[in-house]
Amino acid sequence: MATFSLDDINNMHHLYRINLINSCSGYKSANLIGSKDNFGVSNVAVFSSVTHLGSNPALLGFFLRPTTVMRNTYDNIKATGKYSLNHIHLDILEDAHHTSAKYDASISEFDVTDLKEEYKDHFIAPFVKGCPIQMAMEYVEEYPIKANNTILLIGRISKLYVQDELLEKDGFINLSKGKVATINGLDGYAVPELKTRLEYQRPKAEMMIDK
């Protein structure tokens, strides 16, 4: 098994290190975040750091890299307080990945890809048409991460849209039915299949200790 010490990691070529460390944490969520600035220019960008923070209230967080360079998504969210989360799926992998290119704020990624804007219920931020799961999000708060100058941005789900065929009777969303993608590292995309669901687990009776 390949083994890397801290010194190995610190001294390796930066591109190798980026690929290694970005992929060692495992599969990550694959989302497109849609936003719009105060001048009406829409933006959509791929993010692999969206994570569940709580169900009541329904909170999701995602991480942004340092804002010392152009961060259109962050600027738009701070300006309007609204954004959308859209699950990337099999049919849009290449266009979704292209949104990682750094375009000027005056250029919408919708105009340079085949991704289509969709608007629902008078929500200011654009959704990505055809995505099996879409979420209208409202900015709540943010936390600076001092260790590397990134930002954890937290938002509240104000409206959730799920394609009918994905939704099970108990509320479980079967992502595999929507061919929802996941990201491995920075540029690897996979479309997993659901194998099984397991029941809520309790300690085995014979292992319980009387106190």
CATH number at residue 94: 2.30.110.10
- Cα gap 9→119, rounded to integer Å: 45
**Interatomic CA distance for residues 178 and 133, integer angstroms:** 8
Kindly tell me if the per-residue pLDDT of 209 is higher than 80: no
Average pLDDT over residues 26-48: 96
Does 184 reside within a domain? yes
Q: Is residue 115 part of a domain?
A: yes
Question: Could you list the residue range(s) of the whole structural domain that residue 109 is in?
Answer: 26-192
Residue 157 lies in a domain: yes
Instruction: For 70-123, write each residue's pLDDT tens digit.
Output: 689 999 999 999 999 999 999 999 999 999 999 988 999 999 999 999 999 999
When mean pLDDT is compared across 53-57, 118-122, 131-135, 201-205, the lowest value belongs to 201-205
| Residue 4, helix vs strand vs coil | coil
Confidence check: pLDDT of 134 > 70? yes
Domain count, the chain: 1
Whether 172 maps to a domain, the answer reads yes
Q: Decide if 14 is inside a domain.
A: no
Q: Where are the alpha helices (DSSP H) in the chain?
A: 6-11, 14-24, 72-80, 93-98, 109-112
Lowest mean pLDDT among 72-81, 136-145, 200-209: 200-209
The widest CA-to-CA distance across the chain, in whole angstroms, is: 66
